[in-house]
Structure 1
């Protein structure tokens, strides 16, 4: 077994531009929409993006092209086969950290220490301020300095508020194998085997997290096997993941590391045997111990009632709905850290142990003492 943690502190990350580059969305007019007007097309198909008057504003802003030609006429008639492009205006994304530490790197993969508050892939308000953007900018710089370099991409996700180890692949074959490791871990939980079938191979990856939870856990160790599924939730298009009997199988192994009776909280280690969205947050809240400062999940593994701001019928600069002042629930605030990964290298099969340094709040007293002694030496 190889300890893959490097002693040098290697970091990368460029400051974020004030505004991102905006986005473009393409459509091709279907035969069923032949003869409809531009405003009818967008006002009916994309009502969730903006109300009718909002789309009118976007058209008059010159944000829509018809067959590579900017038009400001909402009543222009469309023909089947025409290509439409809507340009979303650049906007300032919410604050996010930009500096990322490299824990391990070779010709095939990189392990990063993702900071809390940084989203992995584009989505929602975060289209540029992501790990993926920083990886692309960093590799572009290295390519200019040293010639062609592989383009690394994340092979799994961490929640925006979760810190710690994020694995990225630098080659297609490494990406395929690492992705299979994560899929195999979940299939071991989800799959059923008929009598006489060959047993599935041992796991290629094991993940350990640290979490700070509310309350004092009575058991030193426990296994949570509550299924997790999606439920409709106001303001979230795809719904929210919650504890539900109709969900998919999920297993988390929890081990108590330190009980803080005075402050009524516990530091736990969690080994996840599957990779459901928000699994650790849901499982710990399901047993009555939600993460400290989790803005979304409460006891029972369900979302708390969240009061969205009342918004007047007005439009943003690009014609969309004015956004609420508060972020959607569940973005950040809790303490969850992907602390250690034990993984078979995707090319050599060597077993690597990769560790991301713990935030001080997730260190036990003995770990904090050891850390203090090391810094003094």
Structure 2
């Protein structure tokens, strides 16, 4: 059943819609640029802040078919639809994790687990946010286990998050990372035609500001370097698909390094031209520890992603 948000369906009617399988609405012009939860509150009679929070807790809120968090900025004419959480389960290898349940288990053993984070979802709990996070669901996913989040991904980035199942595993991970024994590989679509492998050694100023700033000089710690290997390119879109590896990353390291090299990540509004759609073409596809590994590929219809590419980078990154 298709409606316009401006039709002012009541909160109870909205509840009935998504319990039956979800409704569909179109963002009116007077909601241009609003947060998604604000658009729902403004255009749905009687919903209110508490009702909006309940909508995001009890169903998937999709904009143009992609799952979005409460803070996503909507555009006039976009389609908003609701889907019960129970309908979102699926196999991680055959689906796009952004369109279904927020959290999927990719791999687990006695010490570690790897979870799949969709773009648009926070890694950590954010104070004052109604949006979900991986960290918030760890007690539910691992009851009775002191689960510890070991890495972070930007909200707009998708892919693997590693969880230590107890303090000993977390300490082991920290030691391995200092020794350069943790390999993290990402797939990224970038602007321009990247024809040769790059080893980006530029130092990054990670002071507390929105953008990380490259500064003159070579980063003295090889664990902080970024290696990028071209995999495919599109002359029509002037874009390249690259495999990126880091060992011990800094905040925004991949995004800032690729932009500094003249190849910003596609759709990155912070280090490139955007536009800001709430997600970017950067996906953490593989993580390797001495005795644990996990992998998950993105579902990017513009690119044919070959699983063999996840093993294409050389072992040694020190150059």
Is 1:155 aligned with 2:150?
A: yes
Instruction: Name the structure 1 match of 2:242.
Output: 268
Instruction: Name the structure 1 match of 2:106.
Output: 103
SS at match of 1:165: strand
Deviation at 1:125, TM superposition (A): 4.6
Structure 2 alignment gaps of length 5 or more? 1-49, 55-68, 73-97, 309-319
Cα 1:175–1:331, aligned 2, differ >3 Å: closer, same or farther?
farther
After superposition, the C-alpha distances for 1:49-70 in whole angstroms (9 at most, x for unaligned) are: xxxxxxxxxxxxxxxxxxxxxx
Cα 1:174–1:245, aligned 2, differ >3 Å: closer, same or farther?
same
Cα 1:181–1:126, aligned 2, differ >3 Å: closer, same or farther?
farther
Instruction: Name the structure 1 match of 2:298.
Output: 358
Instruction: Name the structure 1 match of 2:287.
Output: 341
Instruction: Name the structure 2 match of 1:5.
Output: none
How far apart, in 2, do the equivalents of 1:166 and 1:353 lie? 12
Deviation at 1:134, TM superposition (A): 1.5
Find the partner of 1:167 among 149, 162, 166: 162
How far apart, in 2, do the equivalents of 1:230 and 1:367 lie? 33
How far apart, in 1, do the equivalents of 2:302 and 2:201 lie? 24
Deviation at 1:17, TM superposition (A): 8.2
Q: Output the TM-score relative to the length of structure 1.
A: 0.51
Is 1:286 aligned with 2:257?
A: no
SS at match of 2:202: coil
Cα 1:153–1:227, aligned 2, differ >3 Å: closer, same or farther?
same
SS at match of 2:211: strand
Q: Could you tell me whether the CA contact under 8 Å between 1:212 and 1:335 is conserved in 2?
A: yes
SS at match of 1:244: strand
Larger C-alpha radius of gyration, 1 or 2? 1
Deviation at 1:248, TM superposition (A): 5.6
Deviation at 1:178, TM superposition (A): 1.4
Q: How does 1:200-211 map to 2 (within 5 A)?
A: 203-211=180-188
SS at match of 2:176: helix
Cα 1:19–1:289, aligned 2, differ >3 Å: closer, same or farther?
same
Cα 1:238–1:210, aligned 2, differ >3 Å: closer, same or farther?
same
Corresponding residue pairs, total:
216
Q: Could you tell me whether the CA contact under 8 Å between 1:228 and 1:243 is conserved in 2?
A: yes
Cα 1:152–1:18, aligned 2, differ >3 Å: closer, same or farther?
farther
Q: Could you tell me whether the CA contact under 8 Å between 1:230 and 1:247 is conserved in 2?
A: no
Q: Output the TM-score relative to the length of structure 2.
A: 0.59
Instruction: Name the structure 1 match of 2:193.
Output: 216
Q: Could you tell me whether the CA contact under 8 Å between 1:257 and 1:364 is conserved in 2?
A: no
Q: Could you tell me whether the CA contact under 8 Å between 1:258 and 1:364 is conserved in 2?
A: no
Deviation at 1:254, TM superposition (A): 0.8
Cα 1:294–1:239, aligned 2, differ >3 Å: closer, same or farther?
closer
Cα 1:99–1:230, aligned 2, differ >3 Å: closer, same or farther?
closer
After superposition, the C-alpha distances for 1:164-218 in whole angstroms (9 at most, x for unaligned) are: 1110011111111113333x1xxxxxxxxxxxxxxxx5x3211111000011113
Deviation at 1:242, TM superposition (A): 1.7
Deviation at 1:153, TM superposition (A): 2.0
What is the Cα-based RMSD across aligned positions, in Å?
A: 3.2
Q: Could you tell me whether the CA contact under 8 Å between 1:114 and 1:164 is conserved in 2?
A: yes
After superposition, the C-alpha distances for 1:197-241 in whole angstroms (9 at most, x for unaligned) are: xxxx5x32111110000111132x12111111135xxxxx64531
Q: How does 1:1-377 map to 2 (within 5 A)?
A: 18-19=52-53, 93-94=70-71, 98-123=101-126, 125-126=128-129, 129-139=132-142, 143=143, 149-182=144-177, 184=178, 203-219=180-196, 221-230=197-206, 238-245=209-216, 249=220, 250-298=224-272, 332-345=278-291, 352-361=292-301, 363-364=303-304
